[in-house]
Amino acid sequence: MQSRVVVSLEESNKDSNPPPPPSIKTAIPTQSRGFPLRMLRLFFLFLSLCFAFSFISIYAIRRFGVQNVVTTVRSGFIPSCIGGAAADSFATLERFIAPPSNLLHRMSDEELFWRATLVPRIQKYPFSRVPKVAFMFLSKGPLPLAPLWERFFSGHQGLYSIYLHSLPSFEAKFPPSSVFYRRQVPSKGKMSMCDAERRLLANALLDISNEWFILLSESCIPLYNFSIIYRYIRSTNQSFMGAFDDEGPYGRGRYNENMAPEVNITQWRKGSQWFELRRNLAVSIVEDTKYYPKFEEFCRPNCYVDEHYFPTMLTIEAPNELANRSITWVDWSRGGAHPATFGGADITAEFFKKIYDSQKCKYNDREEFQICNLFARKFSPSTLEPLLHISQQVLGF
């Protein structure tokens, strides 16, 4: 541009009648005319891509849940050029407290347990929280009594969550209308019974509305309707887990002195693996790195971790919070190493009357309370049809 000015000045000195000054259009070099237009097009293209990706991200979050798009967040795929729409979907409280819509995830047990132990320290929730019961089913494969449980849960949406842990080789195929649809948790890491139970607890803790956690097997049935069970659990501050001192070979006889000093023999407890826990105790189990390594290393080969770890650890850490009894009824009257298994011929009104009449227990410091066991086991697949036939009359649903 300067060279043009110099030339024009030189020519004005030579010619007394200089030509008219060049117009703006002729003064701008030809090659620079399209440059701002191309930049503007590129900017609008980039802006359009940002809006498109933001819309897809928000839709994916609403459709599949935050857990399934967490890799998108880690990868930094949410465009910073937008800021508002996509970022707000992660920043709102509703997004934070929403339970995972799909239980499948790629977290290892170490990552899962760490995530599950992130708990609020302010006890007053800044939103309307309806406490739920997490029903956790531990099964090798299918749930033969699922239709009975479907009937039990019917009409109580919003008061329960369901979690199913099975062997990795089993793929649950429930129809979309089922309460068990897509409720199978990933089976990663170690596959002992105790590890599976901790994994169930950790997955259930991801839903901040879950307040009580019940562990059941595929052979369990409810003895009462949902409303009675919900009120029973909600009306007490204790958790239901058996934890007793067995001085015989199947109790203290399984203790290993290498567990000291974390666990001494006077603290050694035994109990049923089927339990009900409040949320704070569930967190204590998942976050435990003090007792679990001891049990993992020294509670073997004839020491069953699932019968000793939970009762012993909670007796040491929170003895006053345990009712020291299970809420799952079993029949040991037939003798043997395992409780009785019931078939279709056992399912009668008289059979359940004996169960109900035999119940006397302590509940909230009240003696001889008539509802003690909320569930019962072990019921074979052949009991399904007769159970469905008498469930409304006998079980109340």
The pLDDT profile of the chain, 397 residues, written as one tens digit per residue, is 444 433 343 444 444 444 454 443 444 444 445 456 777 777 777 777 767 766 666 655 555 544 444 433 333 434 444 444 444 545 688 877 887 777 888 898 999 999 999 988 888 889 899 999 999 999 988 999 999 999 999 999 999 999 999 988 888 899 999 999 999 998 876 768 999 999 999 999 999 999 999 999 999 999 999 999 999 999 999 999 999 999 999 999 999 999 999 999 999 999 998 999 999 999 999 999 999 999 999 998 889 999 999 999 999 999 999 999 999 999 998 877 789 999 999 999 999 999 999 989 999 988 778 899 999 999 999 999 999 999 999 999 9
202: nearest Cα among 99, 276, 286: 286
Residues 311 and 243: their CA atoms lie apart, in Å, by 5
φ, ψ at 276 (rounded to 5°): -135, 125
Res 47: pLDDT: 73
Amino acid residing at 10 = E
For residue 264, give every residue at least 6 positions away whose Cβ sits within 8 Å of its Cβ, in sequence order, or none. Answer: none
Q: In what order do the strands lie in the sheet with 221-222?
A: 221-222, 375-376, 328-329
Distance (Å) of CA 107 to CA 21, 104, 168, 238: 73, 9, 15, 32
DSSP E strands, 194-243: 210-217, 221-222
Res 55: pLDDT: 66
CB hemisphere CA count around 20 (13 angstroms): 4
Residues 378 and 372: their CA atoms lie apart, in Å, by 17
Q: Is the pTM of this model over 0.85?
A: no
Helix (H, G, I), strand (E, B) or coil at 159: coil
Size of the chain in residues: 397
Location of structure tokens 């078939």 = 343
Res 24: pLDDT: 38
Question: 12: which 2 tokens?
Answer: 């004005």
Res 2: pLDDT: 42
342: nearest Cα among 304, 372, 388, 386: 386
φ, ψ at 210 (rounded to 5°): -70, 120
